[in-house]
Amino acid sequence: MKWTNPLALFRRKERESEDTVRTVVSNLLYEHLKKKEQPNRQYKGNAVKTTKYTPWSFLIVNLWEQFHRVANIYFLGIVILNFIPVMNAFHPGVAIIPLCVILALTAIKDAWEDIRRFQTDRKLNNLPCLIYSRKTKSFEEKHWKDLHVGDFVKVLSNEVIPADILLLHTSDPNGVCHIETANLDGETNLKQRKVVPGFFNPNSPFEPRHFRGAVVCEKPNSDLNHFKGYIEKDDQNKTGFGVESLLLRGSTARNTDESAGIVVYAGHETKSMLNNSGPRYKRSKLERMMNSDVILCVLLLFGLCLVGAIGHSIWLETFQSIPQYFIPDNNGQYTSSILAGFYMFFTMIILLQVLIPISLYVSIELVKMGQVFFITQDIDLYDEKQDTRIQCRSFNITEDLGQIQYVFSDKTGTLTENKMVFRRCSVRGTEFSHAENAVRLAVLSETESEEEFILFQQQHKASPLFPDDQTESRRQSTRANVSRSRVTVTKPSDRAFSSPLETDVAPDQKLQQVLRGASLAEDESGYYLDFFLALAICNTVVVSKAPAHRRKAEERPSNSKKQMTNDLPDVFSGEDMTNICTDQGVVTPNPGQTQKTQLGCLVHYESQSPDEAALVHAAKAYGFTLAERTPDQVAVRLPSGQMLSFQVLDILAFDAKRKRMSVLVRHPHSREIVMYTKGADSAIMDLLEQPLLEKQVKCNTQQQLDQYARDGLRTLCFAKRILSQKEYEDWSKKRQEAISAIDQREQLLMDTTVFLETKFTLLGATGIEDRLQENVPETIQALREAGIQVWVLTGDKPETAVNIAYSCKLLDHRDLLFTLNAHNKAMCNSTLNNHLEEVKRYGPPERSEEIGLVIDGRTLGLVMDEDLRSKFVELCKHCRSVLCCRVTPLQKSEVVKLVRDKLGVMTLSIGDGANDVNMIRAADVGVGISGQEGMQAVMASDFAISRFKHLSKLLLVHGHWCYNRLSNMIVYFFYKNLAYVNLLFCYQFFCGFSGTAMIDHWIMIFFNLFFTSAPPIMFGIMDKTLSAETLLCMPVLYKSGQHSEGYKRRTFWIAMLDAFYQSLVCFFIPYWTYQGSDIDIFTFGTPINTASFFTITLHLAIEIQSWTVVHWVIMLGSVLVYFIMTLVFSALCVSCNPPANPYWIMQQQMNDPVFYLVCILTVAVALLPRYIVHALRGTNAESLHLWARKVDRLAPPERQQWIREWKSLWHPSVSGQTGRPTPPLSSDPISLEPDSPFSDRRL
């Protein structure tokens, strides 16, 4: 939120609403004009201000914001009541203090955040940049903040771009400029930007003074990938441009010495700033429940106050005449009993206000900060390769992690590595299985598989080399079934295999032979060449020649080199980086090439999609090396060493609707215009030209594609079409019209594209493997055991998705698999009914764990219809896992919303790409994976992790902890406040309901602020019911959070009853002790206060489950603080807070043995019931949680044995037991492999 003058806002709005486009002209022409007369004056400057406040407006604005919270208004109301003399319970000045403390704390936090923002802003605004000045006729160094729309800016290589700049000049001979947008979307590949057509003049230096045109473009918007407009020259000629000519603020110029352009958007109107939506605020389920209990507390408070008010009236009525302790008002009149009762209601509200816990909200915020701190500090959630920790982007839903019931996962990049490996291909219906490559990959993954067993091998972590025999034997066993498990084998996080090893392809012998024998002239083998040319050309991969300056690229090879020589001496002896390069050299023998050094090892492909990179690498393995790509041409080196330079006529980019992309090139020799297309089989197969011969090819290819999909490979089809010159020219004209259109441009472009993409000749198909991330099956199994339903939503084909689902143990081969695949609603309805019938026969929802459901995108669209929804949801309830294939991003979020709202469950979405953003936003908890596909998912998420396997620790351990901690703390807070308030209420029965407090008000404030605040906060941050290891080994324990067992209405009421009982004890034991004696008010209040303090503190001590040194320090510290502060306060305050006067009372009491006797007795009696209940529960409890706690205390080896025994009992066939192994069996270690999926139906 910016604090702008509303008038200015209004003015600007008025002006901009006049037209829908923005017109920018060069500032240079108007430099002499006054500021007010400049044509670009209404556009924002480049200085950014993300701060909310200014130093002088801070107080007012911050208070204004803070009083938007209901709680603060409530407390303000109470303070105001206190200023009304007939109602005040305390000295008005003192009553302000709690509110002030809360407001001040929040204000300090806000101010600190704002100062941080201010500092960043200042740093950004003062970055240097080169701005063209008319006076000196050259680029001068100024600051970012001096930049305005219409200025000309020069950007040097590796500089950050200061504003959104329309590219008009570069030093590159091809008129391109590379940028890296990692700062914006996390994509680290280089992107090419082109100079606006017609402005490129490589021979002359850039002369901004000669720029006369007007730039007309869209209004500022946040879409990073869309931008359109045109430059209107003096002669009315329009030149269109798109996003490919826009340099975005925040991106970095690479590989281009200098580039220059005109600023079109500056400061807050730049696309990167518009994308900054700031942190998100969500309210967790626990907090929603808590808020309803706060309302219960309000009702309770009103009840108590009503009792007080009525009691006071009745009490007043009992007197026939007026006793001397009644005080008249200044006129000597006494208020009537009814009116006095009315006043008393408000006095009581003031007195008992603590019942609504003002400190609860602040404490929760502090606790969550602490929890977030510990989550981010977790070393297990740190990814060495990417050097990333887990990020908590939402601070206030940590406890939701402990209550997740449904997980919606993306497939690609989330379950899988999104590191594509070329596995198989088929050319013209002939399959090439690439068996050599498969063997190579299997060997690779085998050596990496050692660290699968992290759970039980924590202590081994220190020695990464595993020199013992045990590992060796395990390796043997892994090798035995290598062919089956290669998809599932894992890759240890701490050793980095860089892409070269994985992207390299060992060529298929047969295919190579075919290629050797082929020449361009022969007809059939020409297809082979075309196929590989398509692999190499039909993409947007950028060849980066000098990546050395980029740190990431520099680190990788050295890293992997070291790792390899360490870890793989036997497998890859002697094969280090140079060897790999020479390997390639053998495949690509081109001794005569001058570019060899440049292209040898250091050639680096930067691609936006890993599939493309895999394909290019595959082509390279067969000698078709993509050597260079510029906007106008693409060069491919053939196996013969010959260099082919294709002129690129157009690129029809990929989109989700068409599901294909095409490249139009002119063949250098034949001058033919060829279009290479690649895409999903469904997007190509129907568009084939179909002579009879083709039919067989198509049929074969389709079969092979289906086989690939069954093997879990990602399939792509390649096709080509040869265009005649005429065809191309006609089309090109239409295309040009479409490009320069501003209205409906997308539609027009799409039409032209589809028009061209038809009559294909099928070249072949590829199968790319997307390997599973490490520990995915284990993680999914753990989530499953924890009672979490896992859904996979993917854009892939059903066959691929099902296969991945099997390999990551989402589906079991014993499972009953339903498929929903319908073309229309009626059919869909009947299928649903059938399935429902069948499912119901199978058993109740809890028993039907062996049912999986596969649904495709089209059917999902039908099912989303209002009348089928409930049936679908009903069916899903019965299914253990659901796979949604071929779904669009929007459908993903719809599914999440449907399940969330219809079933009322806690949902979590996890994904890594831009297509998951909707789904991540729709779920209660969004988790982003910072992986290959940029940062958009991370930006939308609440938590960002780097590997899927981290999810199990995040949920099962941190979620469990956070939920238990916070729910226990909240329950404790309610308890604490009622226990304390009820003391005051009890006293009202003995002071005529007059609103007297027997405890000094300052002491009461201290009580909440200092004496009893730190322990629950520490409890909320640090208490640990179970160790991380136990929680990971026994995911079933997670279910307590799903069922909200930590904080239920019942828990709340039990806590309230206990509080009531305890406060009665704390009041009446001192009361009976001091009854009839000469005790005065505060002397009577002191033992009550002290006993209550100890009761409340020791109550927490009973609840604390693990005592670390921090617990001891804080608990003992609180006791010390209590005595020290009370003693000091009552020694110093002779008459500091009239009329209340606690002077020397504590000292007096501490000299009296009765004080101690009363306190000890009271505390003992007050805590007795809770203590006994805990002890009884501990003795005879059936809860697994308690059993786990007992196990948790044992030494690690013993603990593991117990857990293993428990697991062995915990088999699906057993039912109705608590699952506790009875006697310690003789040590016959059950396999560590979690291959016996024990059911979780009983907890």
Partner 1 sequence: MMASSYSAKEEDGHHPGASGAGGAAANGRKPDNTAFKQQRLPAWQPILTAGTVLPAFFAIGLIFIPIGIGLYVTSNNIKEFEIDYTGTDTSSPCFSCYQNFSWNSTLPCKCSLPFSLDQPFESNVFMYYGLSNFYQNHRRYVKSRDDSHLNGNLYSLTHPSKECEPYAHRDNVPVAPCGAIANSMFNDTMELFFVHPNETRSQIPLKRKGIAWWTDKHVKFRNPGGNGDNLTAAFQGTTYPVNWHKPVYELDADPENNGFINEDFIVWMRTAALPTFRKLYRIIEKKSSMTPTLPSGNYTLEVTYNYPVHSFDGRKRMILSTISWMGGKNPFLGIAYITVGSVCFFLGVVLLLIHHKYGNRSSSPDIAS
For residues 789 and 1095, which CB has a smaller minimum distance to partner 1 in the complex? 1095
Q: Which of 594, 1222, 1226, 1227 binds partner 1 (CB under 8 A)?
A: 1222
Q: Strands 925-929 and 907-911, how do they pair?
A: parallel
Rounded CA-CA distance 541/626 in Å is 9
Q: Which stretch binds partner 1 (CB under 8 A): 69-77, 464-472, 937-945, 1037-1045?
A: 937-945
For residues 62 and 584, which CB has a smaller minimum distance to partner 1 in the complex? 62
Query: Is residue 1154 near partner 1 by the rule CB under 8 A?
Result: yes
Are the C-beta atoms of 198 and 16 separated by less than 8 Å?
no
Query: Is residue 1227 near partner 1 by the rule CB under 8 A?
Result: no
**Helix or strand (DSSP H, E) at 1071:** helix 1049-1074
Query: Is residue 120 near partner 1 by the rule CB under 8 A?
Result: yes
Catalytic residue (one of 172, 293, 410, 942): 410
What is the phi/psi pair of residue 180, to 5°? -115, 125
Smallest gap from residue 930 Cβ to partner 1 (A): 5
Rounded CA-CA distance 83/368 in Å is 35
Subset of residues 250 to 269 that bind partner 1, contact rule: CB under 8 A: 250, 252
For residues 468 and 1152, which CB has a smaller minimum distance to partner 1 in the complex? 1152
Smallest gap from residue 1067 Cβ to partner 1 (A): 12
Residue type, 1160: I
For residues 728 and 1038, which CB has a smaller minimum distance to partner 1 in the complex? 1038
Q: Which of 378, 575, 815, 874 binds partner 1 (CB under 8 A)?
A: 378
Query: Is residue 1172 near partner 1 by the rule CB under 8 A?
Result: yes
Query: Is residue 1161 near partner 1 by the rule CB under 8 A?
Result: yes
Buried b (16+ CB within 10 A) or exposed e, 1010-1035: ebbbbbbbbbbbbbbbbbbbbbbbbb
Q: Which of 3, 10, 112, 319 binds partner 1 (CB under 8 A)?
A: 319
Query: Is residue 386 near partner 1 by the rule CB under 8 A?
Result: yes
Query: Is residue 198 near partner 1 by the rule CB under 8 A?
Result: no
Rounded CA-CA distance 404/905 in Å is 8
Q: Which stretch binds partner 1 (CB under 8 A): 412-420, 699-707, 749-757, 1216-1224?
A: 1216-1224
Q: Which of 173, 202, 328, 843 binds partner 1 (CB under 8 A)?
A: 328
Q: Which of 593, 1106, 1183, 1208 binds partner 1 (CB under 8 A)?
A: 1106
Subset of residues 1002 to 1041 that bind partner 1, contact rule: CB under 8 A: 1022, 1024, 1028
Query: Is residue 1223 near partner 1 by the rule CB under 8 A?
Result: yes
- Mapped onto helix, strand or coil, the DSSP state of residue 91 is coil
Query: Is residue 123 near partner 1 by the rule CB under 8 A?
Result: yes
Rounded CA-CA distance 20/267 in Å is 20
Query: Is residue 1157 near partner 1 by the rule CB under 8 A?
Result: yes
Query: Is residue 990 near partner 1 by the rule CB under 8 A?
Result: yes
611 tagged catalytic: no
Q: Which of 48, 286, 535, 854 binds partner 1 (CB under 8 A)?
A: 48
Q: Which of 828, 1069, 1100, 1243 binds partner 1 (CB under 8 A)?
A: 1069
What is the phi/psi pair of residue 821, to 5°? -150, 100
Query: Is residue 54 near partner 1 by the rule CB under 8 A?
Result: no
Smallest gap from residue 1167 Cβ to partner 1 (A): 11
Subset of residues 588 to 647 that bind partner 1, contact rule: CB under 8 A: none
Subset of residues 139 to 158 that bind partner 1, contact rule: CB under 8 A: 158
Query: Is residue 89 near partner 1 by the rule CB under 8 A?
Result: yes
- Mapped onto helix, strand or coil, the DSSP state of residue 624 is coil
For residues 185 and 778, which CB has a smaller minimum distance to partner 1 in the complex? 185
Query: Is residue 1097 near partner 1 by the rule CB under 8 A?
Result: no
Of 373, 404, 363, the C-alpha closest to 1019 is 363
900: which 2 tokens?
């969330």
For residues 67 and 326, which CB has a smaller minimum distance to partner 1 in the complex? 326
Subset of residues 159 to 178 that bind partner 1, contact rule: CB under 8 A: 160
Tally of CA atoms within 13 A in the half-sphere of 6 that contains its CB = 0
Q: Categorise residue 659: left if φ over 0, alpha if ψ from -120 to 50, beta otherwise.
A: left
Are the C-beta atoms of 1189 and 1105 separated by less than 8 Å?
yes
Residue count, binding to partner 1 (CB under 8 A): 138
Query: Is residue 317 near partner 1 by the rule CB under 8 A?
Result: no
152: which 2 tokens?
């000309």
Query: Is residue 138 near partner 1 by the rule CB under 8 A?
Result: no
Query: Is residue 372 near partner 1 by the rule CB under 8 A?
Result: yes
Question: Where do the DSSP E strands lie in 545-698?
Answer: 604-606, 625-629, 633-637, 643-652, 660-666, 673-679
Rounded CA-CA distance 1210/1212 in Å is 7
Smallest gap from residue 83 Cβ to partner 1 (A): 13
> CA 703 → CA 386, 431, 698, 761, 765, distances in Å?
39, 10, 9, 17, 11
Rounded CA-CA distance 807/557 in Å is 31
Query: Is residue 944 near partner 1 by the rule CB under 8 A?
Result: yes
- Mapped onto helix, strand or coil, the DSSP state of residue 864 is coil
CB proximity list for 477: less than 8 A, separation 6 or greater: none
Query: Is residue 64 near partner 1 by the rule CB under 8 A?
Result: no
Tell me the per-residue interface mask from 548 to 567 with partner 1, x by CB under 8 A, - otherwise. Answer: --xxx---------------
Whose structure tokens read 């939701």? Answer: 400
Query: Is residue 1158 near partner 1 by the rule CB under 8 A?
Result: yes
Query: Is residue 1229 near partner 1 by the rule CB under 8 A?
Result: no
Are the C-beta atoms of 799 and 805 separated by less than 8 Å?
no
Rounded CA-CA distance 722/134 in Å is 52
692: which 2 tokens?
């009879």
Q: Which of 1178, 1196, 1197, 1212 binds partner 1 (CB under 8 A)?
A: 1178
Of 1130, 517, 445, 1111, the C-alpha closest to 807 is 445
Q: Which of 116, 219, 562, 1043 binds partner 1 (CB under 8 A)?
A: 116
Q: Which stretch binds partner 1 (CB under 8 A): 115-123, 292-300, 720-728, 1092-1100?
A: 115-123
For residues 456 and 1074, which CB has a smaller minimum distance to partner 1 in the complex? 1074
> CA 451 → CA 388, 496, 502, 784, 1006, distances in Å?
20, 14, 19, 22, 53
> CA 442 → CA 481, 485, 622, 1122, distances in Å?
11, 9, 21, 66
* Helices within 588-691 (DSSP H only): 596-599, 610-621, 681-684
For residues 493 and 915, which CB has a smaller minimum distance to partner 1 in the complex? 493
> What is the DSSP secondary-structure string of 1180-1242?
H---HHHHHHHHHTS-HHHHHHHHHHHHHH--TT--SS-----S-----PPPSS--S----TT
Q: Which of 392, 788, 966, 979 binds partner 1 (CB under 8 A)?
A: 392
Rounded CA-CA distance 847/1242 in Å is 10
Query: Is residue 1144 near partner 1 by the rule CB under 8 A?
Result: yes
Q: Which stretch binds partner 1 (CB under 8 A): 149-157, 353-361, 806-814, 1071-1079?
A: 1071-1079
Smallest gap from residue 777 Cβ to partner 1 (A): 26
Subset of residues 843 to 862 that bind partner 1, contact rule: CB under 8 A: none
Q: Which stretch binds partner 1 (CB under 8 A): 39-47, 65-73, 683-691, 1105-1113?
A: 1105-1113
Query: Is residue 1191 near partner 1 by the rule CB under 8 A?
Result: yes
Subset of residues 773 to 802 that bind partner 1, contact rule: CB under 8 A: none
- Mapped onto helix, strand or coil, the DSSP state of residue 128 is strand
Q: Which of 1080, 1197, 1231, 1241 binds partner 1 (CB under 8 A)?
A: 1080
CA–chain centroid gap for 398, Å, is 12
For residues 461 and 657, which CB has a smaller minimum distance to partner 1 in the complex? 461
Residues tagged active-site? 410
